[in-house]
Structure 1
Amino acid sequence: MKYIYDLHKVMLKQSLLLVYEGEFNQEITKSVLAMAERNMDSFGEQRKVKTKVFNVMVESLQNIVKHSESYQEEIYGKNNAIFSLAKTDDHYFVLSGNPLYTGEVEKLKTRLEEINLMDTNQLKEEYKRIIKSKPRGELSPKGGAGLGFIDMSRKSGNKIHFDFEKINDELSFFSLRMTISRNL
């Protein structure tokens, strides 16, 4: 029972408003978004800030749903991922993590580093370039057009913080943190 109290203290210390760990699907995503919205409403958060946080959350959650593989349970469990929302006096933090195949790490790392090197105008141009280069309705094999990380960077106004931890020979754990200022 002490574990629950210890967990509560950690959440308070880390300013965690919401944490969900487990299988992600569209219904769970809707519930997580609704809880986060109620939390921000209870703080009387500015509409503009709420919109930015909500947009980043949607992209992050869609990334988990679209890109988390349904791994065999003996490898890592079924579609296990984590999502959390934290708040300080000055910022919100959208944090997520999910397994991915180790073979995908270098490509994703390179793309995230490219995005982090772009300024606001370059992000806008890259967004337009991708939109124009995709025939109408064409999606990647995983269901996206490749815009999610660009959109998160644009909407948050900040760089993407990320890391990869090797789980085993087949899988790595992708961690993502996006920061959104409360002072707009």
Structure 2
Amino acid sequence: MGQIDLFSLQQTYNQQRILLCFNGPLTQSLIEEIGHALRNYMEREHATPSSAMDVFGAYIELTQNIRHYAARKGWDASAAAAAATVVIARDTEGRYVVSAGNILEAADGPALETRVNALAAMDKVQLKAQYKEQLRKPREEGATTGAGLGLIDLARKAAEPLSCSLRTLDDGRAFFSLRVVM
């Protein structure tokens, strides 16, 4: 591998208003360290406490979901399959954009994409009702997935509908990306 053109990379980050970017395997300690850096950055930027909490909450929800998915699949935390890409940026209106993507089994992608798109199609009243309904549902003992409240809560707090993409890879897997504007 040749030398990385850091200047071009910096220019790209600046053009896309990227504040923080991580690419690689996510461990619990790494999620915490990046979260700490994110909090410090937002304090220096004088973000409102509610805005800072929303962005931090979105970051934690997305990264923990990625980490839990890899663990459920039995993927080694250091394996490329357990890797993620996380980007926190500002849009042209000054809102924070939290994006995260990870590899998943191709068969798991469509259901997740459908779930996100269904939430994106709901208005705030419908999202609140969906949240309450999900809260009341009994949780199956030994369930391997969460109750889904985190994703619904992200949709409720987001400044615009959630958006996602699913890209099929050659090895029977896919790359799923989720974007949340706060």
TM-score normalised by the shorter chain: which range applies? 0.7 to 0.9
Which residue is 2:83 aligned to?
80
CA contact (8 A) 1:134 1:145 kept: no
Residue 125 of structure 2: aligned partner:
121
Greater RCO (Cα-Cα under 8 Å, separation 6 or more):
1
The residue type paired with residue 94 of structure 1 is V
Structure 1 residue 169 displacement after superposition = 4.3
* Alpha-carbon spacing, 1:25–1:72, altered in 2? closer, same or farther (3 Å): closer
* Kept in 1: contact 2:83–2:103 (CA 8 A): yes
Unaligned stretches of 5+ residues in structure 2: none
- Out of 29, 32, 53, which is 2:55 matched to? 53
Are the aligned partners of 1:97 and 1:176 in contact in 2 as well (CA < 8 Å)?
yes
The answer for the alignment partner of 1:43 in structure 2 is 45
> Cα deviation per residue 1:133-182 (whole Å; 9 max; x = unaligned)?
124x856313x1112221111122421110001112410000111111xx
Structure 1 unaligned blocks of 5 or more = none
**What's 2:135 paired with?**
131
CA distance in 2, matches of 1:161, 1:78: 22
Instruction: Please give the alpha-carbon distance, in whole angstroms, between the structure 1 residues aligned to 2:76 and 2:172.
Output: 12
Distance 1:4 1:148, change over 3 A: same
Of residues 172, 175, 178 in structure 2, which corresponds to 1:170? 172
Give the distance between the partners of 1:72 and 1:54, measured in 2 at CA.
Answer: 26
Q: CA RMSD in A?
A: 2.1
TM-score (normalised: structure 1): 0.86
Shift of 1:77: 2.0
Shift of 1:107: 1.1
Shift of 1:62: 1.4
Change (3 A) 1:90 1:5: same
